[in-house]
Amino acid sequence: MSKASDRAYAQIKAMILSGALPPGAPLREEQLAEACGVSRTPVREAMRRLETELFVLKTDRQRSFVVDASPDDIADAFELRAMLESHAARRAATRISAADLARLREYNAAVKRSVEQDHPDIPAFLEHNRQFHTTIIRAAASDRLASMLAQIIEQPVVLRTALHYDRENLRRAYREHDELLAAFARQDGDWAAAVMTGHIHRAFHAYRDARVAVPVDAPIDMAA
């Protein structure tokens, strides 16, 4: 894939993840090409890649839209993530280095700081939470598992979960991270897997409860 295609892919994906291109939004090559500063061919290549990664849906009439996940799609994504990431946690527990364990503690301390501000810093929470989970996946030392998880974790529905968390759910996230750290320190794979499974399932229920209370496309009051 060319550099122009890579740039178009990264920019379109970022617009989807940020909500600038919301679920169900039509995707027109000429408009995307202008927004990305490339020709239509790199955009077309980027769109094929995003379609494979389940960010974009192409209809029988060859029209493209941002994927709008159904409740079943959402449940399936979280269930798959729970299975795969719990396996990653089990593997990581007996493989993780002292340096990675120290990094996990630093990332979770940053997660806690982002939550305990007067107004939770959601972007900081998302970034440090991502670093925490990425470190665990890397410590699991399985390229195949990492590849499978990358596609699931980066789906927009999963990345937008924290936008629907209240402060208590945000706090639960870092407390569950603390329990994972305890399991890793003791190299207890079964404990780590059980905590990770519960961690992902709680995230799903928090997302589902918030989705019922607040439409996915409604503006989020970040000061709440």
| Per-residue pLDDT, 186 | 98
| Cα dihedral sign, 194-195-196-200 | positive
| Per-residue pLDDT, 158 | 56
Q: Cα–Cα distance between 153 and 133 in angstroms, integer?
A: 10
In this chain, the answer to whether the domains covering 3-66 and 71-213 adopt an identical fold is: no
Cβ atoms of residues 180 and 172 within 8 Å:
no
What does the CA dihedral 28, 33, 34, 35 come to, rounded to 10 degrees?
A: 80
Three-state DSSP state, 65: strand
| Per-residue pLDDT, 164 | 65
| Per-residue pLDDT, 223 | 31
* Fold of domain 3-66: Arc Repressor Mutant, subunit A (1.10.10)
| Per-residue pLDDT, 218 | 42
Instruction: Give the residue from 61, 34, 32 showing the smallest Cα distance to 45.
Output: 32
Mean pLDDT per block of 10 residues along the chain (224 residues) reads 85 84 90 94 93 85 85 86 97 98 98 93 88 96 92 65 76 96 98 97 83 48 31
Q: Kindly give, in sequence order, each residue whose CB lies less than 8 Å from that of residue 146, ignoring residues fewer than 6 positions away.
A: 137, 138, 140
Instruction: Give the residue from 119, 156, 129, 131 showing the smallest Cα distance to 18.
Output: 156
Query: Whole-model pTM?
Result: 0.75
| Per-residue pLDDT, 209 | 79
Sequence spans of domains, the chain: 3-66, 71-213
Kind plus residue range of the DSSP H or E element containing 224: none
Q: Cα–Cα distance between 97 and 139 in angstroms, integer?
A: 8
Instruction: Give the residue from 134, 184, 188 showing the smallest Cα distance to 159.
Output: 134
| Per-residue pLDDT, 14 | 84
Q: What is the pLDDT of residues 100-158, one digit of tens each?
A: 999 999 999 999 999 999 989 888 898 899 899 999 999 999 999 999 888 777 666 55
The CATH number of 71-213 is 1.20.120.530
